[in-house]
Structures are given as structure tokens and as C-alpha cells.
Amino acid sequence: MTASISLAGLVPNGSNAPVLRLSLDAGTGTGAVYYYFTVAEVPLAPPVTPEDAGIRVERWYERFDGGAAPITRIAEGELVRVRLRISVPSTRQFVVVDDALPAGLEAVDLSLRTASAMPGPGTAAQEPAEQEGREGEPQWGFGRWDSGWWSPFDYREIRDDRVVYSANVLWPGTYTATYVARATTPGTFVRPPAHAEEMYNPAVNGRSDGGTFVVTPKAP
């Protein structure tokens, strides 16, 4: 049985925090009863602080043409490299990382013929061509080659407004992923946090910081 309850009418307790009490009547018998409780929320203000509930997520932007310093501003038409760092203290199963882009940026698919001339994160322009043959091939039964680097994420999906990664398993440690985006529209945009969670256990999750990202008009 599935039931939905609005939290809007909850009565605050002494610390002004709403309290929800759940009671379950399974009738007579000695069998075990299993249940789960999921909360979906819409924050009043955009979240800007990191959160770690079993998965630590860090995300920052760099200039594509060099420089490892994080940036929050770039000119229209320029490229940025998006860096993701995922840390887990214990083994996590079926992890999904959802990185929503600021509206002024658009992810670049390096597998397309029109974009393949740009070097990936682990491939220099002068690197031998045999590196390309490893793209997408599995390593040790999991993960894949991503633009010259091995990635623990078995799958990556580039959408209009975000890039989504998934991994069947992440052993304890720190993992990285990276992709390229282009500044397409000038303006000041919300920079949503990157979010990660276990697909079948969303209580294990984490998010990066958020804020704003500025795309300045192209110089005349």
C-alpha cells in the first residue's frame, strides 16, 4: 500500500521543527512487516551548501584552455571544463550522479564528429590515435574509458540541461568525472548543486555547493 501525506499542515514542536509520527497496524500475526518512508521537498530558497549523507559530492568549473582555478564567470562562446569528485566511505551500489547545468551553459558531446577534434580530459592533442580504440571499453569488469581516462561510471548521458552518470559499484575511495560545456547565453544563472544517490536507497545521498554562474556577452 502506498500513501502520500502533505507536510504543509504539520504542527511545530518546541523548537519550531515539524514532527511527523507514523503508526502501523498490521493486524494479528507474527510475520515481519517491512515499510519505507520517503520525503520529497521543494526548498523555499535554492540550496547553496553541500550535504553529505553517505556520499560526498564536489563540483567546480575550470577554463578549458588552461588553469585549474575554479571559476564562476566566463564569456559567451567559450568552453569550460566541469569537474566532479565523488567520495564514499564504504561500498555504494548503483550510484547515480545528476549534475544540472546553469541555464547559460550547454554540455558538449565529444563523441560527435563536429566536436571530436577537441581533446578530452585525459587526451592531449598530440596523443597517439590508438587511445581512441579504448573509448567505451570496460576495465576490470566495470567502468569505461572516457576521453582517454578510465572512469568508474559505467554510463554517461548528456542531456540538454544536465549530465547524468551511473556506476554499478563504487568501492570506498574518491572518484572523478569531467566533461566540457559551452557558454551559449549571456546572463546570471542559478548554479544548481550536483546531486548523487544510491538508486535503490536514496537515503544515501549527497550534493555539492550551489550558487550562481555568470556568462558575459561576447566582445564585439
Domain segments of the chain as ranges:
51-121+135-216
For residue 150, count CB atoms less than 10 angstroms from its CB and return exposed for 0-12, middle for 13-18, buried for 19 or more.
middle
| More confident call, 20 vs 172 | 172
Q: What angle do CA 22, 24, 28 make, to 5 degrees?
A: 165
Q: According to the model, what pLDDT value does residue 1 have?
A: 61
* Contact between residue 82 and residue 50 where contact means Cβ atoms under 8 Å apart: no
For 119-176, how does the pLDDT look when each residue is reduced to its tens digit (9 = 90+)? 555 444 333 323 233 444 444 567 777 666 677 899 999 999 999 999 999 999 999 9
**CATH superfamily for domain 51-121+135-216:** Alpha-macroglobulin, receptor-binding domain (2.60.40.690)
Q: According to the model, what pLDDT value does residue 129 have?
A: 28
**Banded pLDDT at 8 (limits 50, 70, 90):** low
For 59-113, how does the pLDDT look when each residue is reduced to its tens digit (9 = 90+)? 999 999 877 799 999 999 999 999 999 999 999 999 999 999 999 999 998 776 5
- pTM of the predicted structure, to 2 decimals: 0.73
